Structure 1
Amino acid sequence: MLQARLKSGKYIIPALYPKSELLQLRAGEESFYCPVCDEKVILRVGEKVVAHFAHTANVNCPSRGGGEGAYHEQGKLQLYEWLLRQGLSVELEAYMPEINQRPDILLHHGERRIVLEYQCSRISNEEIIERTNGYKEIGVPVIWILGEILLKRKGKQALRIDSFTRTLIHQFTSAYPLSLFYYCPFTCDLIKFQDFTFTNKNRALGKLTVKRLETMTFPELLAKEFLPDYHFITIWKREKKYFRLRRWGKLFGEERKWHHWLYRKGLHFEKLPSFVHLPVSGAYRMKLPGWIWQSWILFEVIAPRPIGSIITTKACNYLVQHYLFPCEYFPLIKSPAQPVREYLTLLCSAGLLRRTNTDTFEKLTDIDLPERLELAIIEDGDFITELFQNK
């Protein structure tokens, strides 16, 4: 822990003091106490770690556990000092007895409280959900900032988002872009990844912003940033072309099953219609890449039915229900998306369907397949431009 209580009741954060002063303090008769359990703690001062306090081995305190080392302690302290320099009322490692949790940073904004959690190691999704819901129970919003060591870049504007990171996607309101936050205590860079869409199961394209911490304010951390339409169109044209020309190699799992399904349907991925593999913002809820679940919907539900038929969200959801992450998996998203409904809405913009109600659609035309790969690539480019020029 980064702070403790003195006999006088005053709190001390040793990382804010010179080393010589800390050594003198430790050599004296002063005692230090845990703010949570009131047991004595030990002041540790070293060359390679941030000065901090530690419990003795036989103490059972609710605040123990979850330590993530010097990287975590240094980053947490820097974020705390950053907020202090802005004149904000902020507490470090404040214990919240009503839910038995001790957030890294507690920010007071008028009568409101906001929690900042700086997470630098992988923990279970269940723990993230439990801790986030604990704050929700007492009406305290939480912002999770990941250590930059957990950031996995897959291109200039792309990140790998695995099942752990997926649970930490933020969306404060329906108008707020999907967001992830990262911080590196070595470079002092604050990284935001916003307005992203998944291109496959674990890779997402979006607006990646890197700024020095001292150049930002707390409101700027939460400011909305969007990928410009022209950039979005360019990268998705490239993504569609890559999909057409992809060399699959040895296939496993769901990809192998999907290729067998294509074979049985008399289809080939190179000549699928442009309706397949479209960017859907709610795809973060899918355990499958878009080309699989979207082609299922097209060729199992829509294509076999005559023009004028009614297509329902329920019928399409039935196909993919076992491949959807439950809404509870996303505690930081106020209203988790409905990716199937989003996809059907896109098909309305593309002229294939017409919405007749919230979850019912009328089929307007049949689905044509491109005759040659070269034509398919050209059609994809025109299709993406027309569909998303006013994203």
Structure 2
Amino acid sequence: MYYWLKQQTSNVLLEPYIREINQRPDILMYLNKRKIVIEFQCATTSVSEIRTRTISYQSLGIKPIWIMGAMFFKRIGPNYIKISPFILQFIHQFHSTFPPSLYFYCPKSKQVVVANDILICTPQKAIAKLHFFKINQVSFSALFKLSTLKDVEKRLLWKREKKRFRMKPRGRAYGKEREWLQWLYLRKTHIETLPSIVYLPVQSQHKMITPLWNWQSRIYVDILAPLHVGEVFSVQSCEFLLQNHQRMTKHHPLIESSRHPIHEYLQWLVYFNYLMKVSRHHYKILKIIKSYHNIEHALAGDQLLLADRADRTGKPIWIEEKSW
């Protein structure tokens, strides 16, 4: 990797010592008047250590880029990868419009893998656009100018996720999933009857501790369902409701975006004409969000929700700048 970078810029140092923060990165390079450190992570270490080292580089105005070893790359489908809390620490988002991305490298095959446009589906799985390169066939800067998933691809992939969510066999649940199922039961609600607006993708899901279906169902059941058409609620009420479901922003210092999962989710509901934004922090109910009576109606409703706008108007289903 060092020699590969050396071919592109002469100002590359191998394992230099940075006295101010007592750190020795794998590679330090100067590119377009910017200081960049490359850290190649091929062993599991504590999340706090990764975070501390990242913040220390940033405190000196150095851009850290973490590249994981190939052993961390687990592909489970054409557009699916395995994730974990450890892997999530390495998601890069250099600005709000940059697609969340992970970088992997295999020294034996000299192959780089970039997973970008990442959408977290479950705590163990994410959708991503995957790119594979031989290191001598790509420039360093090209790794940050790759194509993302098309709107139609995202729509089809999430339709499948919605169906899996509805049809997944529910065996014995444990931990937070068991707590959520009990919470649904106490409110006389079941997965089969939840409305289609539950389990919608948001790009900033990494900021949430609980899965998409968990916290989105709480917004629906506890805030939206009791309201009538024309009534107004605040974003603050949603944030207060989910205060124990959110991570602090400092947990992901490599992600330089102010996007917030609750705001992204409410923007989806505006897009589907269930809500109207009436002020910076308030939304009004435009129509009642109905739950389903059986699994057949739920499956049909899920497909219709994600297809209606695109199929009837020709406009993309995927929310872009205003939400993500």
TM normalised by structure 1 equals: 0.77
* 1:289-335 deviation per Cα after TM superposition (whole angstroms, max 9, x unaligned): 11111010001011112221212111111122112111000111113
Structure 2 CA distance for aligned equivalents of residues 279 and 241 of structure 1: 14
Whether 1:281 and 2:207 are equivalent positions in the alignment is: no
Query: Does the 8 Å CA contact 1:108/1:114 hold for their aligned counterparts?
Result: yes
Equivalent residue for 1:347? Answer: 269
Change (3 A) 1:267 1:356: same
Residue identity opposite 2:254 in structure 1: L
Amino acid at match of 1:347: L
How far off is 1:157 after superposition?
Answer: 1.3
After TM superposition, give the deviation of residue 360 of structure 1 in Å.
1.1
1:131-189 alpha-carbon deviations (Å, 9 max, x no partner) = 11111111111110000111222322112221111121111010101111000111211
* Unpaired segments ≥5 residues, structure 2: 311-315, 319-324
Give 2:59's aligned residue. Answer: 137
Whole-Å Cα distance in 2 between the matches of residues 299 and 87 of structure 1?
56
Indicate conservation of the 8 Å contact 2:276/2:284, yes or no. Answer: yes
SS at 1:187 equivalent: coil
Q: Distance in 2 between matches of 1:130 and 1:296?
A: 33
Kept after mapping to 2: 8 A contact 1:95/1:102: yes
Structure 2 CA distance, aligned partners of 1:173 and 1:386?
A: 31
**Mapping for residues 1-391 of structure 1, pairs under 5 Å:** 79-386=1-308, 389-391=316-318
Question: How many Å apart are 1:353 and its aligned residue?
Answer: 0.7
Runs of 4 or more above 6 Å deviation? none
Aligned-partner Cα distance in 1 for 2:229–2:317: 28
Gapped runs of 5+ residues in structure 1?
1-78
Q: Distance in 1 between matches of 2:106 and 2:222?
A: 47
Asked if structure 2 preserves the Cα contact closer than 8 Å seen for 1:200 and 1:288, the reply is no
Whether contact under 8 Å (2:113, 2:132) holds in the other structure is: yes
Q: Which amino acid aligns with 2:20?
A: E
Higher relative contact order, structure no. (Cα contacts within 8 Å, ≥ 6 residues apart): 2
Task: Tell me, in whole angstroms, the C-alpha distance in 2 between the residues paired with 1:180 and 1:341.
Answer: 24
Q: Which has the larger radius of gyration?
A: 1
TM-fit CA distance, 1:246: 0.9
The structural deviation recorded for 1:377 is: 1.4
RMSD of the TM alignment (CA)? Answer: 1.5
- For the 8 Å contact 1:197–1:281, the answer to whether it is kept is yes
Quote the offset at 1:375 in angstroms.
2.5
Q: SS where residue 39 of structure 2 aligns?
A: strand
